[in-house]
A and B are shown apart, each in its own frame.
Chain A
Amino acid sequence: MNFYDIREIEATSLTIQLENGKIEKPKYDHAKAKGFRVLKNGFWGIFEGDVPDEVGIKIAEGNAVFESDSEIAENISEGRYVMKVKVRPEDVPIEEKVELLKDLEKIIRDVCVSTKVVYFENSRVFRYVDSCGSEVEYTVYRTGVSITGVGKGKTLQFLSRRLMKAGGFEVLKNAVETAEEVRKILPKLANAGSPPSGEMNVVMDPSLAGVFVHEAFGHAVEADHVLQGATVLEGRLGERVADENVSIIDDPTLPEFGFFPFDDEGIKAEKKVIVENGILKSFLHSRETAKKLGGRAGNARSQGVEIPIVRMSNTYLAPSDYTFEELLEECGEGVYLVGSRGGETNPSTGYFHFNAQYGYLVKGGELKEMVRDVSLAGNTLDILRNVKIGSRIDFDPGFCGKAGQLVPVSDGSPHVLCKATVGGA
């Protein structure tokens, strides 16, 4: 046996859902799971199941029956971390959480035909040991609310806002502002018109630009895609891949939704500069891709104890110096797109697609009518060749679903001006 590791996770969570003013589907979860990996003759044998360590390793070894060329960076990692939070979610009475949801729902109720406000809290206790001698243990809390309203005007539209971070109950301190934003925007959105279509100037708000950075660029620098020959950035380290004012960073140590102190291969988390002034500096790595391609491990993550794969954490486009008003002026004629309903990319070709929550026409450098159901598509490298970047960064939380495994992430960006294909119904 060349290598083995054992991961153990104990997770508890509470979800409370207020739908149309009523608490529905309240839910507690308590889960324990163990994952065992064995690398033998360059081949991985894996077993997931809640069994004693020696049994799990034996079953995993029994799966490592063939030969291949896998090898790993044999880092030794040690450490313990318990997230310090101001208010532990479990110390807050459940009635107070219900009260918060009801207060938030009241704010949006009279502009909606349907409302859904969801509270969640989650704690993840992670333990890791391996045959290199690593021993890691951490406890991380995540807390959040999502606020969704359905409004009826010319069309039936929904608007969703999420406030989710690594931390305790204190992360919800701005929840009222989040609900106020839904109240303000939704009635206009339900009466918004269809967007224009075709290639045009686009100003993306920080939320949408963050998704662009994640979907369109971040997935292409995940080194497992490099080994698969499935990224447009293969073999381009050290080359210019974007405009010189583009710098992209992945930093799991930021206290955002994608925070982790150690990755799921037990490696201490660290900030990585992926692109610096337009030059591709680094891929994101697991132990295996780091060994094969020459890089630093620390970006392997998994849902539960599934196979750790190369993932992003808190990924952001570094700020530059344009104000929002200057970007609109530079845009001249085009659209300003706000918020995200998610996106998807094909790293092999660089083609991406994502959907904004709403937008505005830009005419003569000024914001005009609101538009709905608007999408953005294009090719990553084409777009990054010519972008103008704002000065104030914001992060937006979400879940990334690569390979069917959901992990919490956040995407950050300032406002960004680019040229892309816009479409809408």
Chain B
Amino acid sequence: MDWEVYHYRTRGISAEIEAGKLKVIESYAESGFAARVIVKGRVGFASSASREEAIKMAEKIAKISEDVLDDFPSGRFRRVEGIYDRRVEDIDSNFLKEEYERLVSSISRAKISSAKIAHEIEEVEIENSYGLECYEKSTISSMLVETVHDGGSGYEVCDSRTAELEIEETARRAEELALESSRARKIESSVYDIVLEPIAVHQLFFYSLYPSFSAENVEKGRSRVRIGDKYGEITIIDDPTVRGGLASCSFDDEGVNTVPTTLMENGVVRGYYSDWKHSKKYGITANGFRMENTGYPSPMPSNIVVKADDTDESEKCIIIHSLIGSHTANPISGDFSLEVMNANYRGSAVKGMMIYGNIFDMLKRLEGELGEVRQIENTITKSLKFGKIRII
């Protein structure tokens, strides 16, 4: 029997703010094991707080499995920089209180309905019967703030691999969104040029575009993209090696050394992201990740770096900050129809709008990128401008 054991230990501390008041300090410490075994070519999987129990249960369930895997990865890996900050280990309730005070003192006109500031340390250790032994420790800090003002609302986020968060700037952006939103008006249904800001780009791409580049989805007939297809002029790179990237790691959750993978180059599909199982057919990209620590590794994107030609023409566009319902997009066809949350048209806030279309058609209408680069969850992008999008 061949085996793989994924051992995780996470601990962290967070503050919850409700109606502008610091209400909760929470800490946690969690650890566990996820075991995968290959018995006569069949793969079994189980998770438990006990290493022995996880292996035993994985072996037991392998008897009904038809999931085939020849081997587990082996080899060495190169360290990715900027994903661990020792200072996070020392964060305590007083540090969080100072962060809270910085947050509330940055907002004076809108109200904070809720906010959460969190800092986490994660340790991952993977061993397998092919001699693989790898260990990595990383940190992540995040803040989400939701604001309200006179019937309007807004939210903003910031994340970092270090102990430092851009609290004041994030708070001020959230406040401005709520203030603008309270003055929002409806606009005529028509065709408009639009600019998706980084949060909206991530929300749209994560659910309607990225799944099409999964080697597993391609293999199982759940993707419409094929190598060589061309959709506009966008470049999309899966890059787990970005220094300080929120999804950066030295090895994936199966222990494979991480490397950048070009998914689209100037609009042409160049590759897919793959876990170990599908790498035999689609190439090794080190994208075997777990949705949760106790989950089975599957192809998932790491940092997705989006690039396009520069543009500075946004004056006549609807500027869209964020979307509602992005998880309802069709991950196979790429069709979507989404409600706009915060948006602005020619200097005035607008509301009650739905944008709809197909992500692959939309990529052909990409006119360029503008503004600052931000990382939102796993998407690293500037704002993107698209021409002639139907708004109702």
- Listed in ascending order, the chain A residues whose CB lies under 8 Å from chain B are 14, 16, 19-20, 22-33, 43-50, 59, 63-66, 68-70, 94-95, 98, 113-114, 150, 152, 155-158, 197-198, 224-225, 227-230, 232, 307, 341-346, 348-349, 351-355, 372-375, 377, 379, 421, 423-425
Q: How far is the CA of A227 from the CA of B114 in the complex (A)?
A: 10
Q: Which residues of B contact A47 (CB under 8 A)?
A: 26-28
Q: How far is the CA of A185 from the CA of B336 in the complex (A)?
A: 20
State how many angstroms separate the Cβ of A284 from the closest Cβ of chain B: 16
Q: Which 9 A-B residue pairings sit nearest by Cβ, starting from the closest? A: A355-B328, A353-B325, A353-B339, A425-B335, A375-B337, A348-B153, A423-B337, A373-B335, A228-B113
Q: Which residues of A contact B181 (CB under 8 A)?
A: 349
Decide: B146 and A230 in contact? CB cutoff 8 A: yes
In the assembled complex, B78 has its CB within 8 A of some CB on chain A: no
Q: Which residues of B contact A64 (CB under 8 A)?
A: 25
Instruction: Report which of A28, A48, A352 forms a contact with B324, defined as CB distance below 8 A.
Output: A352
**Contact residues of B between 211 and 226, Cβ < 8 Å to A:** 220-222, 224
Instruction: Report which of A16, A20, A30 forms a contact with B53, defined as CB distance below 8 A.
Output: A30
In the assembled complex, B91 has its CB within 8 A of some CB on chain A: no
**Contact residues of B between 29 and 53, Cβ < 8 Å to A:** 29-30, 32, 43-49, 53
CB<8 Å pairs between A and B, sample of 9: A30-B47, A30-B57, A63-B26, A65-B94, A197-B189, A224-B18, A225-B113, A344-B339, A352-B339
In the assembled complex, B21 has its CB within 8 A of some CB on chain A: yes
Q: How far is the CA of A400 from the CA of B72 in the complex (A)?
A: 36
In the assembled complex, B260 has its CB within 8 A of some CB on chain A: no
Decide: B294 and A29 in contact? CB cutoff 8 A: yes
Decide: B333 and A229 in contact? CB cutoff 8 A: no
Q: How far is the CA of A33 from the CA of B293 in the complex (A)?
A: 15
Decide: B22 and A68 in contact? CB cutoff 8 A: yes
In the assembled complex, B228 has its CB within 8 A of some CB on chain A: no
Q: How large is the interface on B (under 10, 10 to 19, 20 to 34, 35 or more residues)?
A: 35 or more
**Contact residues of B between 299 and 357, Cβ < 8 Å to A:** 324-330, 332-333, 335-339, 341, 351-352, 354, 356-357
Q: A26-B61, A377-B339 are in contact. List 19 more A-B contacts (CB 8 A).
A: A26-B44, A31-B48, A44-B25, A65-B93, A66-B93, A155-B333, A225-B113, A228-B18, A228-B146, A344-B328, A348-B146, A348-B152, A349-B351, A352-B339, A355-B328, A375-B325, A375-B328, A423-B356, A424-B337
Q: Which residues of A contact B329 (CB under 8 A)?
A: 355
Q: Which residues of B contact A197 (CB under 8 A)?
A: 189, 354, 356, 390, 392
Decide: A26 and B65 in contact? CB cutoff 8 A: yes
Decide: B46 and A424 in contact? CB cutoff 8 A: no
In the assembled complex, B66 has its CB within 8 A of some CB on chain A: yes
- Listed in ascending order, the chain B residues whose CB lies under 8 Å from chain A are 13, 16, 18-19, 21-30, 32, 43-49, 53, 57-58, 60-62, 64-67, 93-94, 97, 111, 113-114, 146, 148, 151-153, 181, 189, 220-222, 224, 294, 296, 298, 324-330, 332-333, 335-339, 341, 351-352, 354, 356-358, 390, 392
Q: Which residues of B contact A49 (CB under 8 A)?
A: 28-30
Q: How far is the CA of A24 from the CA of B65 in the complex (A)?
A: 6
Q: Which residues of A contact B13 (CB under 8 A)?
A: 63
Q: How far is the CA of A95 from the CA of B23 in the complex (A)?
A: 50
Interface residues of chain A: helix, strand, loop or mixed (majority)? strand
Q: How far is the CA of A198 from the CA of B392 in the complex (A)?
A: 6
Q: Which residues of A contact B151 (CB under 8 A)?
A: 232, 348-349
Q: Which residues of A contact B66 (CB under 8 A)?
A: 22-24
State how many angstroms separate the Cβ of B177 from the closest Cβ of chain A: 11
Known interface pairs A349-B151, A377-B339; A30-B48 also in contact (CB < 8 Å): yes
Decide: B97 and A66 in contact? CB cutoff 8 A: yes
Instruction: Report which of B25, B67, B351 forms a contact with A66, defined as CB distance below 8 A.
Output: B25
Decide: A373 and B333 in contact? CB cutoff 8 A: yes
Q: Which residues of B contact A26 (CB under 8 A)?
A: 44-45, 61-62, 64-65, 67
State how many angstroms separate the Cβ of A156 from the closest Cβ of chain B: 5
Q: Which residues of B contact A43 (CB under 8 A)?
A: 22-25
Decide: B148 and A20 in contact? CB cutoff 8 A: no
Q: Which residues of A contact B21 (CB under 8 A)?
A: 68-69
Instruction: Report which of A228, A349, A352 forms a contact with B152, defined as CB distance below 8 A.
Output: A349
Q: Which residues of A contact B356 (CB under 8 A)?
A: 197, 375, 423-425
Which chain A residue shows the least CB distance to B61?
A26
Decide: A114 and B47 in contact? CB cutoff 8 A: no
Q: How far is the CA of A318 from the CA of B266 in the complex (A)?
A: 54
Known interface pairs A158-B332, A353-B328; A25-B338 also in contact (CB < 8 Å): no
Decide: B220 and A20 in contact? CB cutoff 8 A: yes
Known interface pairs A27-B45, A156-B224; A379-B26 also in contact (CB < 8 Å): no
Decide: A150 and B332 in contact? CB cutoff 8 A: yes
Known interface pairs A25-B67, A114-B222, A377-B354; A354-B32 also in contact (CB < 8 Å): no
State how many angstroms separate the Cβ of A2 from the closest Cβ of chain B: 14
Which chain B residue shows the least CB distance to A305?
B28
Known interface pairs A344-B327, A375-B328; A355-B153 also in contact (CB < 8 Å): no
Decide: B352 and A379 in contact? CB cutoff 8 A: yes
Decide: B324 and A346 in contact? CB cutoff 8 A: yes
Q: How far is the CA of A24 from the CA of B42 in the complex (A)?
A: 9
Q: How far is the CA of A22 from the CA of B329 in the complex (A)?
A: 27
Decide: B357 and A425 in contact? CB cutoff 8 A: yes
State how many angstroms separate the Cβ of A108 from the closest Cβ of chain B: 14
Q: Which residues of A contact B220 (CB under 8 A)?
A: 19-20, 114
Instruction: Report which of B23, B49, B351 forms a contact with A50, defined as CB distance below 8 A.
Output: B49
State how many angstroms separate the Cβ of B145 from the closest Cβ of chain A: 12
Q: Which residues of B contact A227 (CB under 8 A)?
A: 18-19
Q: How far is the CA of A368 from the CA of B147 in the complex (A)?
A: 44
Give the interface centre of B32, B151, B181, B325 by most chain A CB atoms within 10 Å: B325
Decide: B49 and A29 in contact? CB cutoff 8 A: no
State how many angstroms separate the Cβ of B344 from the closest Cβ of chain A: 16
Decide: B53 and A423 in contact? CB cutoff 8 A: no
Q: How far is the CA of A44 from the CA of B58 in the complex (A)?
A: 39
Q: Which residues of B contact A349 (CB under 8 A)?
A: 151-153, 181, 351
